[in-house]
Amino acid sequence: MLLTCRKAAFYTMIVLNVFFCLWMCLLWKLRTDTSGLQRGLVPTKKFWHTQTLTGPFWNKEQKQLDIIHNSIEYSANSLEVLQDLLKDSGPTDPCELDYRVPLQIPDYNTLPERFQDFLLYMRCRTYPMLINQPRICEEKPFLLLAIKSLVPHFDRRQAIRETWGQAGVFANQTVVVVFLLGTALPADNFPSLQEMLKYEAKLHGDLLQWDFRDTFFNLTVKEVLFLDWFSKHCPHAMYVLKGDDDVFVNTLRIINFLDGILESDARDFFIGDIISNAGPHRDQRLKYYIPQSVFEGEYPPYAGGGGYLLSGGLVLRLHNISQQVVLYPIDDVYTGMCLKKLGLVPRRHVGFKTFDIEKKYRDNPCIHRGLMLVHSRTPQEMLKIWPWIVHPELNCQ
User: What is the rounded distance in angstroms from the CA atom of residue 334 to the CA atom of residue 338?
Assistant: 6
pLDDT at 52 over 70: no
DSSP symbol at 38:
B
The pairing of strands 173-183 and 143-148 is parallel
| Dist. CA 141–CA 135, nearest whole Å | 12
CB–CB of 373/299 below 8 Å? Answer: no
Q: What is the pLDDT of residues 12-29, one digit of tens each?
A: 555 445 454 555 554 444
Q: Stretch 321-332: mean pLDDT, rounded?
A: 97
Percent residues over pLDDT 90 in the chain = 72
- Where does the pLDDT of residue 394 fall: very low under 50, low under 70, confident under 90, or very high at 90 and above? confident
CA atoms within 13 Å, Cβ hemisphere of 385: 30
User: What is the overall mean pLDDT for the chain?
Assistant: 86
Cβ atoms of residues 373 and 307 within 8 Å: yes
Measured distance CA(247)–CA(254) in Å, rounded = 14
Q: Looking at residues 234-249, what average pLDDT do you find?
A: 98
Predicted model pTM: 0.84
Quote the pLDDT of residue 357. Answer: 96
Asked whether the predicted pLDDT for residue 39 surpasses 70, the reply is no
Angle at 308 between CA 303 and CA 312, to 5 degrees: 120
How is domain 129-390 classified at the CATH fold level?
A: Spore Coat Polysaccharide Biosynthesis Protein SpsA; Chain A (3.90.550)
CA torsion angle for 127, 131, 135, 136 (degrees, to 10)?
Answer: -110
Please provide the DSSP assignment of 297-355 as one string: SPPPPEEEEEEEEEEHHHHHHHHHHGGGS---SSHHHHHHHHHHHTT--PEE-TTEETT
3-class SS of residue 32: strand
Has residue 59 got a pLDDT over 80?
yes
Q: Is 55 left (phi over 0), alpha (psi -120 to 50) or beta?
A: left
Taking CA atoms, 16 is separated from 5, 11, 25, in Å, by 17, 9, 14
Which pLDDT score is estimated for 222? 98
CA dist., res. 352 & res. 297, Å (int): 27
28-37, 106-115, 169-178, 256-265: which has the minimum mean pLDDT?
Answer: 28-37
Residue 131: which of 239, 236, 204, 216 has the closest Cα?
A: 204
pLDDT band of residue 34 (cuts 50, 70, 90) is: very low
Nearest to 272 by CA among 351, 342, 362: 351
Quick: pLDDT tens for 205-231. 999 999 999 999 999 999 999 999 999
Residue 170: pLDDT above 50? yes
Predicted local distance difference test score (pLDDT) of residue 24: 55
| Sequence ranges of the chain with CATH classification 3.90.550.50 | 129-390
The mean pLDDT value for 28-38 works out to 43
Q: What is the mean pLDDT of residues 86-112?
A: 88
Contact present, 394 and 369 (Cβ < 8 Å): yes
pLDDT at 8 over 70: no
Does residue 102 carry a pLDDT above 60?
yes
